[in-house]
């Protein structure tokens, strides 16, 4: 009897213990649920379509282990406002928090310090401001920390040394000031503080990081240029060592007097020569007009700055090109690398100009120089950065060289004029070939040519992305895919998005912009993938993202394609021109599926551009040996006028 009684007591104790533990687990999950609902209510709950009648473990972006929330991933959800001050810290078992590429503002809530188990914190691409809070340094288990593309200010604290497990630290594209502290983080392998307002020398422990991790600042030291040490390396205390001998002083005086007399003679000679040329130069000075006056006229004929008679009724009319810097004197074109310097600014300003198109970042012109050379000139508008930052960013763009990127040859900067000089692409843009008025006798683009264009474009963009996580295009669209005479694709307009002013509510009517993008200056590589996916859909369907039928229905091109494919009406998706090529139907379906993957709603569900490149190369591999024959056939079938296919930069 005693044994039976003891057994019953043990069973009862076990049952009560299980109930207690079950209640604790339920209580913890209820606390997580309440925290998530509080966050949802504070940051735009309509974007988080959570079914509150179900377990939070089933909600989008939420991952649970053992009935506790361990991951909260809500990238690119259009969240706005401020995170609540007393909710996030209740998710005590959180390992990963990803709120990147939203529109969150204000400060990181202090209760984040309660997330002692947090390993990964991704907050890049928001509008967080103020100093980087010191309580972040209490998260000692952090492995990945990304605060890039925000508005953080103040200095970089040595407190980062508390995060001894840190492997990734991205602080680029903020407003941080001061010097970089001596960070002793042995595991750190990904680091970036580019495009802040930092100065001073780079700590030796960070000297093995790539150059792009520090650009856009006033830093020196390895891997950048060495710091100029103006102090004497001598250690002697004898004051006589610092005195000049009498002979040295006499030599300096004689040299100064001789130099002054020589300079005086040169000035007299120049004044006499100037007097003889004065009358002839007066007419030229009067012919120079202000750039800004011509901008305000908004003539239908393009001109970089108009100083001659222009026929306003003809779209192909030609204007004389002249300009003057804001300081009143001519400045020089700055050429890149081995670019041929067969012309200077005066040659460019005297060239005849023809408008190619007005786009997001300015107006593009076809400029024909007196020597017969033809270049494309882009006149930038709404540049919001300082001259120093402009030159740094443009010089970064000018160093990028790839056969599928339109090379930037030179640039010009003054207070009221910013010009970029590119190679001229006579075959025009992909947009013009797909949707423009067809020249008589022109054959529509066939599958082989479209696939080759897609391959060239993805190679150019993938190369751009390979330069580092801070490199993205920001404005991928068919009008920025220009073509060579052999129908090779070259991507233009890369690197310009960061120069424009802020656009907190971007217009998405162009149909290419990813849903998570809230500021055109802060476009991630995954947002580039979305835009490229739209471009692939445009190639396959023949429809522009701004197609009137789609817009009338309130549906963008990716959603329209998905709705058609869902009903298995694949034949209605493809451009009728492509349906003539039955032997490549499988390849077209593969490319269509890839485009759908690229335009996934959530950035994490999209492939990288390197993966997209690999898949397109596989699709094109079967026809790659025939490429030379294909493009020759295409070139013979098309009867373009060189000027009718003029490229547009938008």
The binding site for ATP consists of 378
Which residues are known binding-site members? Answer: 378
Three-class secondary structure assignment of 618-633: HHHHCCHHHHHHHHHH
CA distance 367 to 351: 6
DSSP annotation of 205 reads: G
How far apart are the C-alpha atoms of 80 and 43, rounded to whole Å?
Answer: 5
| Nearest in space to 110 (alpha carbons), one of 141, 127, 89, 80 | 89
Largest Cα–Cα distance in the chain?
A: 131
- 179 SS3 class: coil
The DSSP bridge partners found for residue 363 are: 358, 379
Name the CA dihedral angle for 208, 209, 210, 213, rounded to a multiple of 10 degrees. Answer: -150
Measuring CA to CA, which residue among 518, 502, 503 is closest to residue 44? 518
Contact 365, 355 (CB under 8 A): yes
Contacts of 517 (CB under 8 A, 6+ apart): 76, 101, 506, 523, 527
Quick check: 195 and 497 in contact, CB under 8 A?
no
Rounded Cα gap, residues 291 and 306, in angstroms: 8
Alpha helices in 545-642 (DSSP H): 548-552, 557-566, 570-573, 585-598, 609-621, 627-637
Q: Strand pairing partners for 128?
A: 106
Q: With contact defined as beta carbons under 8 Å apart, do 154 and 174 qualify?
A: no
């Amino acid at each position: 009897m005693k044994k039976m009684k003891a057994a019953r007591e043990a069973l009862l104790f076990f049952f009560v213990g299980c109930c207690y533990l079950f209640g604790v687990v339920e209580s913890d999950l209820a606390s997580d649920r309440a925290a998530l609902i509080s966050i949802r209510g504070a940051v735009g709950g309509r974007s988080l379509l959570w079914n509150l009648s179900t377990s939070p473990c089933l909600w989008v972006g939420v991952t649970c282990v053992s009935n506790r929330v361990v991951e909260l991933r809500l990238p690119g959800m259009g969240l706005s406002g401020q995170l609540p001050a007393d909710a996030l810290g209740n998710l005590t078992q959180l390992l990963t928090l990803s709120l990147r590429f939203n529109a969150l503002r204000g400060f990181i809530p202090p209760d984040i310090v309660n997330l002692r188990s947090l390993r990964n914190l991704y907050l890049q691409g928001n509008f967080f401001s103020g100093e980087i809070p010191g309580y972040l340094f209490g998260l000692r288990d952090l492995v990945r920390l990304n605060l890039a593309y925000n508005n953080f200010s103040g200095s970089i604290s040595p407190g980062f040394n508390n995060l001894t497990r840190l492997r990734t630290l991205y602080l680029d594209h903020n407003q941080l000031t001061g010097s970089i502290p001596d960070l002793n983080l042995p595991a750190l392998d990904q680091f970036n503080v580019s495009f802040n307002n930092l100065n001073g020398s780079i700590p030796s422990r960070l000297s093995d990081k790539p150059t792009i991790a520090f650009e856009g600042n006033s830093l020196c030291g390895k891997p950048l240029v060495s710091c100029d040490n103006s102090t004497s390396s001598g250690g002697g205390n004898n004051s006589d060592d610092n005195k000049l001998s009498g002979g040295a002083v006499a030599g300096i005086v004689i040299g100064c007097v001789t130099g002054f007399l020589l300079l005086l003679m040169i000035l007299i000679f120049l004044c006499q020569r100037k007097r003889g040329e004065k009358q002839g130069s007066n007419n030229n000075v009067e012919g120079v007009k202000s750039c800004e006056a011509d901008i305000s006229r908004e003539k239908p004929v393009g001109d970089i700055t108009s100083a001659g008679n222009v026929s306003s009724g003809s779209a192909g009319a030609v204007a004389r090109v002249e300009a003057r810097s804001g300081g009143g004197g001519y400045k020089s074109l700055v050429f890149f690398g081995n670019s041929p310097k067969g012309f200077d600014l005066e040659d460019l300003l005297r060239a005849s100009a023809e408008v190619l198109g007005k786009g997001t970042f300015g107006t593009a012109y076809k400029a024909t120089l007196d020597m017969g050379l033809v270049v494309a000139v882009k006149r930038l508008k709404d540049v919001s950065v300082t001259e120093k930052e402009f030159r740094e960013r443009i010089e970064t763009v000018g160093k990028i060289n790839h056969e599928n990127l339109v090379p930037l040859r030179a640039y010009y900067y003054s207070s009221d004029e910013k010009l970029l000089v590119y190679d001229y692409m006579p075959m025009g843009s992909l947009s013009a070939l797909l949707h423009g008025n067809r020249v008589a006798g022109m054959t529509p683009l066939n599958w082989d040519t479209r696939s080759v264009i897609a391959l060239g474009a993805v190679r150019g963009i993938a190369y751009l992305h390979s330069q580092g996580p801070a490199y993205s295009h920001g404005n991928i669209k068919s009008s920025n895919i220009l073509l060579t005479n052999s129908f090779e694709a070259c991507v233009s307009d890369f690197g310009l998005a960061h120069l424009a002013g802020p656009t907190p509510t971007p217009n998405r009517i162009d149909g290419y912009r990813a849903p998570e993008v809230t500021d055109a200056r802060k476009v991630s590589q995954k947002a580039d993938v979305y835009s490229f996916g739209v471009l692939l859909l445009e190639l396959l369907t023949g429809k522009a993202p701004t197609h009137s039928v789609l817009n009338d229905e309130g549906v963008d091109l990716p959603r329209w394609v998905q709705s058609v494919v869902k009903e298995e009406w694949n034949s209605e998706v493809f451009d009728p021109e492509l349906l003539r090529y039955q032997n490549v139907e499988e390849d077209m379906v593969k490319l269509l599926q890839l485009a759908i993957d690229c335009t996934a709603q959530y950035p994490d569900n999209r492939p990288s551009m390197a993966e997209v490149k690999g898949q397109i190369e596989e699709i094109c591999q079967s026809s790659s040996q025939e490429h030379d024959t294909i493009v020759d056939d295409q070139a013979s079938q098309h009867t373009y006028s060189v000027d009718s296919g003029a490229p547009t930069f938008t």
